[in-house]
A and B are shown apart, each in its own frame.
Chain A
Amino acid sequence: MANTSTARATSAPASEAAPSGAQRAGGTGGRRPYGQGRPPVRERQGAAWVFLSPWVLGATVLTLLPMAVSLYLSFTDYNLFDPPSWVGLRNYTQMFTEDARLYRSVGNTLLYVFIAVPLQLALALAAALALKSMRRGRSFYRSAFYAPSLLGASMSIALVWRAIFNDGGTVDNLLSGVGVHIGGWVNQPGWALLSVALLTVWQFGAPMVIFLAGLQQIPQEMYEAAAVDGAGPWRKFASITLPMLSPVLFFNLVLQTIQAFQVFTPAFAISSGRGGPADSTLFYTLYLYERGFTSSHMGYASAMAWMLLLAIGIVTAVLFRTSKSWVFYANEEGG
């Protein structure tokens, strides 16, 4: 689970480009015979490449090369033992036209993302707002609410979840107590996915912490000025808090969406690794694991991995594109 820093992805390279351009200019200056005060560019760069060498090696051998290889494998039939045999686009055509379970896994994953991410972020924002207005105990609650985010990815919690949402488990008992008889969520196709989504919601602490930090950066004078103008709490929230918080909201949205697309452990625990009941928790990653590692269709799984990469790329791009209309960056407006 890569806990990531996506909001920076746009701003950081842009702010990086300027200094590096300036350095390149300075570098050519260094090569001139009269630029004697500095050691030659190549020598000064040597140290940088020494520091970078582990990263460069990792980025090439463990990231770029594997990506290229998996792209190649996606056009082959490969089972790890025999050499890969070229099948052209067959894996892709099979994915799009023949594989009903793949469609099911895409549907499940999207449904899960659409349920879990908005619920989690809404709860995180509400909790952050509540903690912001607390005079005492804020840092205690902040830490305590954050704890599930560290534990939630573990197999232990996934097993607890399975028991709590099982037939006769806590949730079933509570609901039966008020006359709602669902039975075990994890055994029923209509409810199993929701129980996984609730496990994600349970981990609202991480985005909450980021929201809270964002809230604390909003200048207090803005609220005071609004109060002088007679703005009520709703007006303040809609006109100050929400716009000022929108970059952080955007960051959390991208981050949690990307993570949600890759959910694996809880679905594996709830369904004994099979995506049941009736394929209702067959998430994309679970199906990819099944095709690649259980039934040794590495070529097909590679094609699936590339489609996931493409999907996450598209979703991120769409989020960035739409963000221009609702994310407000104070410094860009000169404010």
Chain B
Amino acid sequence: MSVTVLSSHHGRRRADRSHIALHIGALAVLAVLLYPLAWLVATSFKPADEVLASLALLPSRLATENYGTAAEGIEGVTLLQLFGNSLTISLGAVLGNVLSCSLAAYAFARLRFTMRGPLFAFMIATIMLPHHAVLIPQYIVFNQLGMVNTFWPMVLPKFLATDAFFVFLIVQFMRGLPRELDEAAKIDGCGPFRIFARVVLPLTRPALITTAIFTFIWTWNDFFTQLIYLFEPDKYTLTLALRTFVDTSSQSAYGPMFAMSVFALLPIVLFFLAFQRLLVEGMANSGLKG
């Protein structure tokens, strides 16, 4: 054994060295990737005169007043309310997507019906459909329904499984479940509804969690839809509140703006830290399974 160690000694040292180089490279990339986040957090604590003028990354003192100003919100709407609006829309979207997408997915994955092939193909095609193609008529419909400047245009479509990507994700997951379980439940006299609720849905939980988290993050980050549908400050979300800063040129607004930005990113960062494996694997599987 010692002979093998000796003979591979040189090779292993070289391998070690190349691994160290890899790690150094990876850490360097990581530093560049994390820099904007570090910059954001540091800047949110900078006093007004340092925000854009100072070259140092770290503030000279911790200016927590930025967070105080940010908490007051914008145009009479407090940060808490903005946060609440974002949360309402995102949780509504999560509920809608998990319900409607799992229902549709079960039909596509397990049940028989005429035109299943063509309908499935159509469902897949809508994944690639640019949102803009349906934007204006949808706006007209919601306008007619008196739903402009309410949260419904962001939430209602999710209850109708319009995010076909998640239908597809759940279909792929359900196809991987052993059919014997369904068959056994069927022999025990279960109909499709009981099989869905008692057998398939509990086993689909990882895909449902992935759907829920991605839906939350994408809805939370969404800007375009909120921009066109919500226009009164009391309906503003965090994203729209940040948008009102876009036009600002006054130095004193930057600190609070970045403090609010930190707030807006916080739920996403927490979700990421809590569910990183699930998210990364959900993304990895989207390209491969099937």
Question: What string of 1s and 0s marks CB contacts (under 8 Å) between B259-290 and chain A?
Answer: 00110110011001000110110011111101
Interface pair A55/B124, CB less than 8 Å apart: no
Q: Is A80 an interface residue (CB 8 A)?
A: yes
Interface pair B123/A59, CB less than 8 Å apart: yes
Q: Is A278 an interface residue (CB 8 A)?
A: no
Interface pair A312/B128, CB less than 8 Å apart: yes
Q: Is the interface of A mostly helix, strand, loop or mixed?
A: helix
Interface pair A23/B132, CB less than 8 Å apart: no
Q: Is B138 an interface residue (CB 8 A)?
A: yes
Question: What string of 1s and 0s marks CB contacts (under 8 Å) between A154-175 and chain B?
Answer: 1111011101101011100100
B residues near A19, Cβ cutoff 8 Å: 116-117
Q: A145-B29, A272-B247 are in contact. Are A70 and B279 (CB under 8 A)?
A: no
Q: Cα distance A156–B260 when bound, in Å?
A: 8
Interface pair B127/A2, CB less than 8 Å apart: yes
Stretch of A96-104, A111-119, A129-137, A235-243 contacting B (4+ beta carbons < 8 Å): A129-137
Interface pair B22/A133, CB less than 8 Å apart: yes
Q: Is the interface of B mostly helix, strand, loop or mixed?
A: helix
Interface residue range, chain B: 35 or more
Interface pair B120/A58, CB less than 8 Å apart: no
B residues near A248, Cβ cutoff 8 Å: 287-288
Stretch of A85-93, A189-197, A202-210, A219-227 contacting B (4+ beta carbons < 8 Å): A202-210
Interface pair B133/A145, CB less than 8 Å apart: no
Q: Cα distance A261–B132 when bound, in Å?
A: 11
**Residue from A58, A154, A212 in contact with B264 in the complex, judged by beta carbons closer than 8 Å:** A154
Chain B nearest Cβ from A184, distance in angstroms: 11
Q: A48-B107, A305-B135 are in contact. Are A144 and B128 (CB under 8 A)?
A: no
A residues near B127, Cβ cutoff 8 Å: 2, 4-6, 9
Question: What string of 1s and 0s marks CB contacts (under 8 Å) between B126-154 and chain A?
Answer: 11111111111110110100000000000
Q: A70-B133, A164-B36 are in contact. Are A173 and B264 (CB under 8 A)?
A: no
A residues near B286, Cβ cutoff 8 Å: 3, 5, 210
29 pairs of residues in contact across A and B, judged by CB atoms under 8 Å: A3-B286, A5-B169, A19-B117, A45-B113, A47-B193, A49-B107, A52-B103, A52-B107, A55-B104, A59-B162, A63-B126, A66-B133, A130-B22, A134-B19, A137-B26, A139-B277, A141-B26, A147-B272, A150-B217, A154-B220, A155-B243, A159-B242, A170-B35, A210-B287, A217-B288, A269-B246, A272-B246, A308-B130, A312-B130
Question: Measuring CB to CB, which residues of chain A are less than 8 angstroms from any residue of chain B?
Answer: 1-9, 11-13, 16-17, 19-21, 23-24, 26-27, 44-45, 47-52, 54-55, 57-59, 61-63, 65-67, 69-70, 73, 80, 127, 130-131, 133-135, 137, 139, 141-151, 153-157, 159-161, 163-164, 166, 168-170, 173, 202, 206, 209-210, 212-214, 217, 248, 251-252, 255, 258, 261-262, 264-265, 268-269, 272-273, 285, 288-289, 292-293, 298, 301-302, 304-306, 308-309, 312, 316
Query: What 13 additional pairs, Cβ within 8 angstroms, besides A153-B218, A214-B288?
Result: A8-B290, A20-B115, A51-B103, A51-B104, A52-B119, A55-B160, A134-B19, A150-B279, A151-B37, A155-B264, A164-B36, A268-B223, A285-B132
